[in-house]
């Protein structure tokens, strides 16, 4: 069954590439954080069957671009320098029809005051394409094989994962769903925890993510449990839906996950940008 599914996905990807080359854009700066960004873009390109292109927004005539240029050359990835303000230049590049997704660093250094820097935050709020956020100290695996998908159990948060991630996967992966019970969603009564939570897990997958490999059910807080399960499961990538609204409660959870995560986080937009 898994082999058949993979062959079908590869056929779809091949048909798509016959009509248009698809690209994962790796946004590289001149710091050490550029390396995990490019490595993540290469792994994500393998995951969805797309090529990778590295870009850097020039900071002036005296800026050295040796770091991003040499990284791209060693990985045999096309490299180009963009002109203009960083945010608008990256938005324009990401808006190209052949670009499917972007990979960008969370911030320049580990332990930064904010989980996501200004550039990454701007891109997240102004694109309707998937964006992978990479921690500066991320250790990127040779391939993405186990993906953690935290779901709230609502149609709005589950739909982007089902509609935008699953159809483009071009490699065999394990998808582990995590559902964290908060004070609002916690079951009113659980007579036999082992049996009842197993039944709840099966029902949750049937309703929201039937193609998943398995499910973990945990009590909140959400961000803490995401980091906990990610480590326990050896996950290579976390996938979250993103409302593109920084004022929303979910944005707070996403910020906490990004701040605590040691693996890349893929954010899938729920609504078109404003």
Q: pLDDT value at position 249?
A: 56
Q: Tell me the CATH number for domain 146-269.
A: 3.40.50.620
Closest CA to 108 of 37, 55, 57: 37
Running DSSP on this structure, what letter comes out for residue 29?
Answer: -
How many CA atoms lie less than 13 Å away from 216 in the CB half-sphere? 23
More confident residue, 132 or 270: 132
Count other C-beta atoms under 10 Å from residue 126's C-beta. Answer: 16
Token pair, residue 215, equals 């499910």
Task: Please determine, for residue 23, whether its predicted confidence score (pLDDT) is greater than 90.
Answer: yes
Q: Where in the chain is the domain with CATH 3.40.50.620?
A: 2-134, 146-269
Asked if residues 196 and 187 have their Cβ atoms less than 8 Å apart, the reply is yes
Which helix or strand (DSSP H or E) is residue 66 part of? helix 66-74
More confident residue, 184 or 148: 148
Task: Please determine, for residue 3, whether its predicted confidence score (pLDDT) is greater than 60.
Answer: no
DSSP bridge pairs for 80: 55
Dist CA 230 CA 236 (whole Å): 8
pLDDT tens digits, one per residue of 201-242: 567 667 766 777 888 888 778 888 899 999 999 999 999 888
Q: pLDDT value at position 161?
A: 73
Token pair, residue 262, equals 């040691």
How many CA atoms lie less than 13 Å away from 170 in the CB half-sphere? 19
- The mean pLDDT value for 63-84 works out to 92
More confident residue, 142 or 185: 142
How far apart are the two ends of the chain, measured CA to CA in Å?
41
Residue found under tokens 């873009």 = 41
pTM: 0.82
Task: Please determine, for residue 96, whether its predicted confidence score (pLDDT) is greater than 50.
Answer: yes
Instruction: Measure Cα distances from 129 to 198, 228, 267 in Å.
Output: 35, 28, 9
Q: Is the dihedral of CA 93, 103, 31, 123 positive or negative?
A: positive
Confidence bin at 250 (pLDDT 50/70/90): low
171 by Cβ neighbours in 10 Å (0-12 / 13-18 / 19+) ranks as middle
Residues 6+ apart with CB under 8 A from 8: none
Dist CA 158 CA 87 (whole Å): 29
- The mean pLDDT value for 243-261 works out to 74
Task: Please determine, for residue 93, whether its predicted confidence score (pLDDT) is greater than 50.
Answer: yes
SS (H, E, C) 116-168: CCHHHHHHHHCCCCCEEEECCCCCCCCCCCEEEEECCCCHHHHHHHHHHHHHH
Q: Tell me the CATH number for domain 2-134.
A: 3.40.50.620
pLDDT tens digits, one per residue of 105-162: 987 555 555 667 888 888 988 888 999 999 988 889 999 999 998 876 555 666 667 6
SS3 (DSSP) at 70: helix
pLDDT tens digits, one per residue of 25-70: 999 999 889 999 999 999 999 999 999 999 999 876 767 889 999 9
DSSP bridge pairs for 178: 150, 216
**What is the overall mean pLDDT for the chain?**
79
Query: Maximum distance among all alpha carbons in the chain?
Result: 69
């Amino acid at each position: 069954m898994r082999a058949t599914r993979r062959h079908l996905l590869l056929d779809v990807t091949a048909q798509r590439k016959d009509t248009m080359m698809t690209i994962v854009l790796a946004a590289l700066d001149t710091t050490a954080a550029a390396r995990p960004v490019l490595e993540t873009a290469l792994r994500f390109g393998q995951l969805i069957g797309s090529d990778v292109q590295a870009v850097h927004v020039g900071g002036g005539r005296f800026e050295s671009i040796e770091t991003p240029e040499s990284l791209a050359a060693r990985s045999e990835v096309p490299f180009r320098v963009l002109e203009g303000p960083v945010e608008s230049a990256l938005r324009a590049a990401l808006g190209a029809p052949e670009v499917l997704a972007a990979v960008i660093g969370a911030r320049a250094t580990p332990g930064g005051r904010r989980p996501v820097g200004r550039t990454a935050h701007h891109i997240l709020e102004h694109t309707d394409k998937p964006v992978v956020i990479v921690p500066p100290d991320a250790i990127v695996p040779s391939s993405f094989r186990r993906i953690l998908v935290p779901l709230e159990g609502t149609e709005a948060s589950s739909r982007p994962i089902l509609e935008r991630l699953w159809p483009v996967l071009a490699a065999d992966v394990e998808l582990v769903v995590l559902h964290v019970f908060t004070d609002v969603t916690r079951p009113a009564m659980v007579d036999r925890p082992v049996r009842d939570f197993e039944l709840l897990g099966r029902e949750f997958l049937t309703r929201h993510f039937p193609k998943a490999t398995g499910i973990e059910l945990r009590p909140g807080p959400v961000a803490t449990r995401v980091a906990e399960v990610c480590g326990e499961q050896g996950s290579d990538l976390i996938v979250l839906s993103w409302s593109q609204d920084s004022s929303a409660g979910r944005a707070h959870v996403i910020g906490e996950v990004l701040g605590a995560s040691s693996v890349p986080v893929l954010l899938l937009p729920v609504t078109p940008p404003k």
